[in-house]
Chains A and B, each alone.
Chain A
Amino acid sequence: MTTHAPSRSRTLLIVLSAALALVLSACSSGGGSSSAGDGKRIVDQTITYAHAQEPPCLWGGWVQQAYLSRQVFDSLVSYDDGKIVPWLATSWKTSEDGRTITFTLRDDVTFTDGTPFNADAVVANNANWAKGIGWNSFTYLTDAKAVDDHTVELHLSQRNPEIFQELSNGHYGIQSPTALTTRSVEDNCHKPVGSGPWIVKQWKVGDGIDFVRNDDYNSAPANAKHNGPAYQKELDWKFVPDANTRWSALTTGQADVIYDVPSVQWATAQKNYEVLNFVSGGRPQAFSFNVQQGPTTDKRVRQAFLYATDRKKIIETVFKGSVPFEGNGTLASSQPDYLNVDSAYPYDVEKANQLLDEAGWTVKNKDGIRTKDGKPLTIRLPFGNGAIVTSDGSAALQAVQDQVKSVGIDLKLIPLTQTQTFAGEKSAPDEKELSFGYWVWGAPNILDINFAAKQGGAPNGNNTTFFDDPEVEQKIKAAQVETDPAKRTAAYDELQQYFSDEAIAVGFYGMTYNAAISPKLKGVWQDQNSNGLLNFNDAYFVS
């Protein structure tokens, strides 16, 4: 049995004791207040944080839930800028066939209800993930087995070199098995029990969540700035859907940290506040052309659409620097195997017109829309209004709509209500020519999720291009089990280039999670794994 280094570190064996790591990190952060450099540390206060959306449950498969879960639960491992570091697990080994991961666990961690953390807890949580996380199967996790009290095996249905990065995202937090089995669904939803730095005191639905410090906290991840209880006593987590209200809360001093700064204030935020900005992993906000039926099956039409739009300028104008332009439609820029294809399809109206002429869309109707055999060149784009595409995103799409009109393409924007969006409406191949959306995910097997023709025998709902090419799919499936880093990168580069060259999936902007922090508060940091979760455990006020 060989041991694979987590992620792409070259070391053969990492058996880092958590204690050692924590001692090191404590040393590096240096003696307390002196390193702050700007005044005295003020502790035992309340941090007020204004977030946007309120999920129905504190944990689950939705990104908004990961934000909350991270405050209450610890995970097995943590992701530190490309490296996997210890957290509740001190070391780990991958079996030869890549389908068994053995974790050695800490033996000094207790959940806040007094239940000890051990191998059985992991087994119980594995079952809970399978039930509570809708996309759990994309990690290929199957079952778990306790080897001894503090050794646990996780089994996979296929080799998955990215499993560690997936386990380190906020969705895979570990809850108290006692709480999971003995309490009601409601209690576990609203006041779940973990071993993390914060404890839910009260969830005031529609208003916010009051967290109090876990005074016995001793299980910070190795990449945290300190191990031990949070510096502040309370974390007041507010739900404020309107971006301007959040911004005003920050400027009036009502909130110390806000999520998702309005674009129009981004420049001011950068000047007057500390800003955090993280492009999520997975897939950016991208265009997916229907390659199964309709006019977009012609590559020239797809490319003409792209040449006709000054996508970079639109993003700069609408988002004002708060969100980056992204040309890659398959992998996000924060993804390790990301390939930069931003220079593909520059703004070139002439080329767009030429391609459309070649494709036979030559006659324009009275509205200036190109037609072929009497049929207008209409591209329907249903999009989740609010839920998936923000107000700024909608403005950017309207700019695209105006630009493609000048080459004779009629882009129809079809906003969907939340009900329609979540009911999966308008997702059949005969209902749209173009899709727009993102997919937050921590690993490049997002390609398999998005471009495999079938998933578990049924048509793959995540395949919004309706792409169906067994040969390419084979390459995708081979790439994700490739363990040689160089070969893996080469394989993914080829695939990303392919989807860009064929204009099947092309990017628009990075799915960005940003935050602005009052100068009074230091030490807030953003997890660099797929969804930019915020850490408040290390935060302290300065005078």
Chain B
Amino acid sequence: MSVVQTSSPLVSPAPAGDTAGRRARVLTRLAGIKLLSSLFVLWGTATVTFVVLAILPGDRATILLNVRSGLTVPRSPAELAPVNREFGFDDSFVTQYLTYFGRLLHGDLGQSYQSGRPVATIIGEQIGPTFVLAFAALLLAWVLTIAWTLLTAGRGPRLRSLGSAGETVTAGLPQYWVGILLLIVFAAQLGWFPVIGGTSPSGTILPVITLAVPLAGFLGQATRTEFDRAIREPFVLSARTRGMGDLEVRWRHVLRHALIPGITLSGWAIGTLLSGAVLVETVFARPGLGAVLVTAVGQKDLAVVSGIVVLVSALYVVINLVVDVVYVAVDPRLRGSL
């Protein structure tokens, strides 16, 4: 299944009456297509990154010389020539691309031309904090969403509009703004959290909240719409007539349905969380891929930027696969289809 079609092929019920052998063949074929399509996505993102960094303005040799010396001046051809030679910047576009891609194929992400450090090392150092941040935020966002939905969705009009208002407001909050306010109030003024939290658990709490609150708003909106729809379905009534308690009905039947759009969104959310991490890491001076990325983009450090891009797109592909699986686990109607 292609990444784009997160919902369509799986949602459409599998044709009835498949023989086991045919199903296995279909599945193998599907898996093959999916693998190819994933590889294509990886190649595509790496290529787009290369092209964008190569064709857009800003001479890389000049940047290198200036960053090294702390200057911001134009450089003469005599100064640029050795740098261009060393890094192959004066090779033809195609040669540069082939070198770059050949390296990637060998699993070599190259070296940062600013610090001379291997990109794999740089990413290896920074990936942990960013992942902790992103996944903790996703988790917290889901906890908030579920609690809020159970509390306010499918209730009386007052509670419902309160719930909906809460989601709409939080979904529109600019993350960096929330982050600054939380930092000033809870870390600087009240002193409940460290100001320079680094990667310590206590320093991770505020950044996680910053990322999770707007996301919870988004997930909440999607979940609520579905929740309100599902609670009016006949199976809810039948569950109630069987004597099931209100909370149990909500928890076991309605919520399960309501989660589906939100789960689809979770794949998307990881991308957003990584974007948000760039801003939140800046606000909280927290190590992570965000700060590295901003610096590397600023210095046109191709190897570092493309290393991060390839990593993130690989993650995107994997997460969408996971989402598909979770999807099936949550929606019993789809179980027969895989």
Chain A residues close to B by CB (< 8 Å): 50, 56-57, 60-65, 132-135, 184-186, 189-190, 204-208, 238-242, 244-245, 248-249, 251-252, 254-255, 384, 387-388, 417-425, 427-428, 437, 440, 456-459, 461-462
Whether a CB of chain A sits under 8 angstroms from the CB of B65 is yes
Whether, in the assembled complex, B110 has its beta carbon less than 8 Å from a beta carbon of chain A, the answer is no
Q: Which residues of A contact B70 (CB under 8 A)?
A: 60-65, 134, 440
A-B complex: 3 closest residue pairs judged by Cβ atoms: A134-B69, A461-B73, A206-B287
A255 contact set on B, CB distance < 8 A: 196
A207, B287: Cβ atoms closer than 8 Å: yes
CA distance A213 to B235 in the complex (A): 71
| CB <8 Å contact, A186 and B115 | yes
Pick from A244, A425, A458, A462: contact of B71, CB below 8 A: A462
Among B112, B191, B199, B298, the one with the most A-chain Cβ atoms within 10 Å of its Cβ is B298
Q: Which residues of A contact B68 (CB under 8 A)?
A: 60-62, 132, 134
Inside 8 A of B195's CB, which chain A residues have their CB? 245, 248-249, 252, 254
Contacts of A61 in B (CB 8 A): 68-71
Tell me the complex Cα distance, A424–B116, Å.
22
Interface pair B298/A418, CB less than 8 Å apart? yes
Residue from A60, A423, A437, A458 whose CB has the most chain B CB atoms within 10 Å: A423
Q: B292 near A206 (CB under 8 angstroms)?
A: yes
Closest to B70 in A: A62
A57–B129 alpha-carbon span in the complex (Å)? 22
Asked if residues B114 and A56 are in contact (CB atoms below 8 Å), the reply is: yes
A461 B74 Cβ-Cβ under 8 A: yes
Q: Do B76 and A134 touch (CB < 8 A)?
A: no
Give bound CA distance, A227 to B113, whole Å. 39
Instruction: Give Cα A206 to B198, complex, Å.
Output: 9
Q: State the CA gap A241–B298 with chains docked (Å).
A: 16
Nearest opposing residue in chain A for B114, CB measure: A56
How many residues from B make CB contacts under 8 Å with A?
55
Q: Chain A residue with minimal CB distance to B67?
A: A422
Which B residue's beta carbon lies closest to that of A133?
Answer: B69
Given contacts A134-B68, A189-B117, A459-B76, contact A205 B196 (CB under 8 A): no
Measured CA separation A427–B73 after assembly (Å):
7
Residues of A within 8 A of B76 (CB): 456, 458-459, 461
Q: Once A and B bind, how many residue pairs between them come within 8 Å at the CB atom?
A: 159
Assembled-state Cα–Cα distance A509/B194 (Å): 34
Considering the chains assembled together, what is the distance between the CA atoms of A245 and B286 in angstroms? 11
Residue B96 interfacial (CB < 8 Å): no
Nearest CB of chain B from residue A531's CB, rounded to whole Å: 10
- Asked if B58 contacts A423 (CB within 8 A), the reply is yes
> Chain A's nearest CB lies how many Å from the CB of B56?
9
Residues of A contacting B183 in the complex (Cβ-Cβ under 8 angstroms):
245, 248
Q: Is the CB of A419 within 8 A of B125?
A: no
Question: Within B267-292, which residues are at the interface with A (CB < 8 Å)?
Answer: 281-288, 291-292
For this complex, 18 residue pairs linking A to B, each with C-beta atoms less than 8 Å apart, are A56-B114, A61-B68, A61-B71, A134-B68, A186-B118, A186-B121, A207-B287, A242-B282, A245-B183, A252-B194, A423-B63, A423-B66, A424-B66, A427-B73, A457-B78, A458-B78, A459-B76, A461-B76
B69 to A: closest C-beta gap in Å: 2
Chain B residues close to A by CB (< 8 Å)? 57-59, 62-63, 65-79, 112, 114-118, 121-122, 125-126, 129, 183-184, 187-188, 191, 194-196, 198-199, 281-288, 291-292, 297-300
With A and B bound together, what is the CA distance between A458 and B196 in angstroms?
46
**In the complex the two chains form, what is the Cα distance from A387 to B184 in whole Å?**
25
Contact A241 B282 (CB under 8 A): yes
User: Do B69 and A254 have beta carbons less than 8 Å apart?
Assistant: no
**Given A186-B116, A204-B125, A255-B196, A384:B283 Cβ within 8 A:** no
Q: CA separation between A245 and B184, bound complex, in Å?
A: 8
Q: Are B73 and A462 in contact (CB under 8 A)?
A: yes
Q: Given A186-B118, A254-B195, A458-B78, decide whether A418 and B299 contact each other with a Cβ distance below 8 A.
A: yes
Q: Which of B71, B114, B199, B299 contacts A419 (CB under 8 A)?
A: B299
Cross-interface CB contact of A423 among B59, B112, B121, B184, cutoff 8 Å: B59
By a CB distance below 8 angstroms, the chain B residues around A423 are: 57-59, 62-63, 66, 300
> Who on chain A is nearest to B73 by CB?
A461
Task: Tell me if B112 and A254 are in contact (CB < 8 A).
Answer: no
Residues of A within 8 A of B283 (CB): 242
Give the complex CA separation of A138 and B199 in angstroms. 42
Instruction: Decide: B125 and A205 in contact? CB cutoff 8 A.
Output: yes
> Which B residues touch A244, using CB under 8 A?
184, 188
By the criterion CB–CB under 8 Å, are B291 and A254 in contact?
Answer: no
Q: Is the CB of B73 within 8 A of A424?
A: yes
Residues of B contacting A208 in the complex (Cβ-Cβ under 8 angstroms): 198
Tell me the nearest residue of chain B to A427, going by C-beta.
Answer: B74
Given contacts A62-B68, A387-B72, contact A422 B299 (CB under 8 A): yes
Q: How far is the CA of A457 from the CA of B78 in the complex (A)?
A: 10
Chain B residues near A251: list those with CB within 8 A: 188
Given known pairs A207-B287, A245-B196, the reply for A134 and B65 (CB within 8 Å) is yes
If A62-B68, A387-B72 touch, whether A254 touches B116 (CB-CB below 8 Å) is: no
Q: By the criterion CB–CB under 8 Å, are A189 and B116 in contact?
A: yes
Shortest A70–chain B CB gap in Å is 15
* Cross-interface CB contact of B72 among A239, A249, A422, A456, cutoff 8 Å: A422
Q: Which residues of chain A come closer than 8 Å to B191, judged between CB atoms?
A: 252
Residue of A nearest to B198 (CB): A207
Tell me the bound Cα distance from A458 to B76 in angstroms: 6
